[in-house]
Amino acid sequence: MAASLRRPLLLAAVLIGSAASSARGQGRPTLSISAPAAEQVMHTGPVVVAANMLTGRKLQELLASGFPARLHFTVELWSVGGWVNDLERRVEWDVVVRWLAVEKTYEVTQLVGDRPFSLGKFTQLGDAAAAVARPTRAPIVSLASIKRAYYQATLSVETLSLSDLDEVERWLRGELQPAVRGRRNPGTVLGRGLKTLASRLLGGERREYAARTEVFQATEGKR
């Protein structure tokens, strides 16, 4: 059962705290996911941290040349069975990082469903990386019917192609109003503008990361 991402949830309610470190782009890219305490797993989602994701000379040169980087997050809840594990729930969101040459700043935007939410503008790439690395609580919780489960997170990092920049720019500025008013499926805007870009990456470069929690067992607790 997939959870809905059409509410302004990830930015307004689930970004918790500030970055644990300044994430100056010198460390190794690391994706981690932490499950909540056993008594909270039916009320609270896991925390995802994507640290040092803007490292690499090629990626940084492309960013500086005006090619946005897209980070696509997926978090899944899996139940543990006797022979096979079952996928129970899934949530997805994107983060786009781009260099604004006129303002001389890096803009970090979180895309939740068909709505963009600004995570800030930064003059230093390290500060933009720190914004990406902020712990994010995914809006996905376990089910009372599941005895044993675990969360799995995956992340793909890719660079948007030049031919897609115009539509992505207009979409981020909110100019694609027909999508909002129902005359155009908003999913097609995100789908064509972002999700299908893997086949048109500059230089064919695509980074992928994965992490999972330990198997946990839910216990009833107070909210």
**pLDDT for res 172:** 61
Q: What is the pLDDT of residue 159?
A: 82
Strand 105-112 and strand 115-122: the pairing is: antiparallel
Task: Provide the pLDDT for residue 82.
Answer: 75
pLDDT tens digits in sequence order for the chain, 223 residues long: 444 444 434 443 344 343 333 334 468 999 999 999 888 888 899 999 999 999 988 889 888 888 889 999 999 999 998 788 999 999 999 999 999 999 999 999 998 877 888 999 999 999 999 999 999 999 999 988 888 999 999 999 988 765 555 666 666 665 544 433 344 443 444 444 444 443 344 444 678 999 999 999 866 554 4
Identity at 218, one-letter amino acid code: A
Q: Are the CB atoms for 127 and 50 separated by under 8 Å? A: no
- Tell me the three state secondary structure of residue 33: strand
Q: Does residue 50 contact residue 133 with C-beta atoms inside 8 Å?
A: yes
User: 169 — alpha (psi -120 to 50), left (phi > 0) or beta?
Assistant: alpha
Q: What is the pLDDT of residue 97?
A: 94
pLDDT at 114 (0 to 100): 74
Cα gap 58→38, rounded to integer Å:
42
Look at residue 17 in the predicted model and tell me its pLDDT.
40
Give the model's pLDDT for residue 133.
Answer: 96
Q: Residue ranges of the alpha helices (H) in the chain?
A: 9, 57-64, 125-132, 165-172, 177-181, 186-193
3-state SS class at 26: coil
